[in-house]
Amino acid sequence: CACFFSDNIFVGRYGLHVQYRDEGQLRRDHGRALQERGCRSEEDFRAALREIEAEVQRRKQLIHQSVERKAIISKCYKRKHPEVYLLQDSFLAPDFLEIVRYCTSPDAHLHGLLRYIESFSDKRIYRLPVFTEEFCQAFVDELENFEQSDMPKGRPNTMNNYGVLLNELGMDETFITPLREKYLQPITALLYPDLGGACLDSHKAFVVKYSLHEDLDLSSHYDNAEVTLNVSLGKDFTEGNLYFGDFSQEPTPVPKYIEIQHVGAQGLLHRGGQIHGALPIASGERWNLIIWMRSSAIRNRLCPMCNKKPELVEAEGFGDGFTETPEDDVPETVNLCSLW
């Protein structure tokens, strides 16, 4: 596979999200693309190659650094609201639970589901209630407590400088995984059957923070996910709408963008490949829970970044969603798109 993973797409000086086996391949496959992005001289070319190689090496170390941080946090961090680490029905909005009940009923179908949720244009973007306001307040308070601690902190990705990786905080097994498997998957199975909505078997979950003196906005990008859930947790803020353009594989000469306002405790479901971004907030502070949900049944056949069949190597954790589980056996390691 010709790409490397773990972040939103669109990174690096020349906008490339690729990793090359050798300099010759770089010249053959993307010489013209590099030139279009301002890489014209031999010096520019070699600088771009050094930047790409450095990014590959950085990402190779991410999983090991994350494991080390998680161990330290588990041993040393004192939780302020320990109850928020274990998912409970009382955290979820009554209307959300009603949606899940419908989706798990024998006669559930897409048109019936659309009566319960809000749909935007033809881009397959949907808004639905997710959490109670009381849970959001307690969760944000816990996140702020962690931010103010002296614990090591891994940031969500190269585009967000403030936020928390929830697996490092210890929320994957007890909160995010049951949320995905029990509550979200019945919904995504109806909304996104073509994207593996019924078999989303892994995720990356994190919280991002926007404030006036930190990150204000987020540039256009698409996610390393089949389906994304974006929930506004609070706090008080103004402006900062999300905007959505084309699907990554279906660009148009003049893309049409729509703006969607964040609503507290409610979430937006959209295709990971939907190009989107966040406009600047004008005041206050906003926290968002982001869950990138992935289906190995989809991406093991076709890498969503390079649109080729991936070469897989063993990896720890979820392996960016390239997860192969033999029948009647759960391996200790999973696979991810090869870096080489």
Span 7-55, pLDDT tens digits: 443 332 223 333 333 445 545 555 666 666 677 788 888 888 888 788 7
Span 93-121, pLDDT tens digits: 999 999 999 999 999 999 999 999 999 97
∠ CA 233-239-245, nearest 5°, is 90
Q: pLDDT tier at 212 (50, 70, 90 boundaries)?
A: low
For residues 218 and 236, what is the distance between their CA atoms, to the nearest angstrom?
18
- Short-list 265, 280, 276, 277, CA closest to 235: 265
What integer best gives the mean pLDDT of the chain?
A: 80
Task: Select the more confidently predicted residue: 272 or 336.
Answer: 272
Q: pLDDT tier at 1 (50, 70, 90 boundaries)?
A: very low
Q: How many CB atoms lie within 10 A of CB 206?
A: 22
Backbone angles phi, psi at 23, to 5 degrees: -65, -35
Taking the domains of the chain in order of start, what are their residue ranges? 1-76, 82-322
SS3 assignment, position 97: helix
End-to-end CA distance of the chain: 7
pTM for this predicted structure: 0.80
- Percent of the chain past pLDDT 90, that is, above it, reads 45
- Percent of the chain past pLDDT 70, that is, above it, reads 77
What's the pLDDT score for residue 22?
A: 45
Most trustworthy range by pLDDT among 6-10, 11-15, 190-194, 285-289: 190-194
For residues 4 and 22, what is the distance between their CA atoms, to the nearest angstrom?
15
Please say whether the structural domain 82-322 has been given the CATH code 3.90.1170.30: no
For residues 330 and 327, what is the distance between their CA atoms, to the nearest angstrom?
8
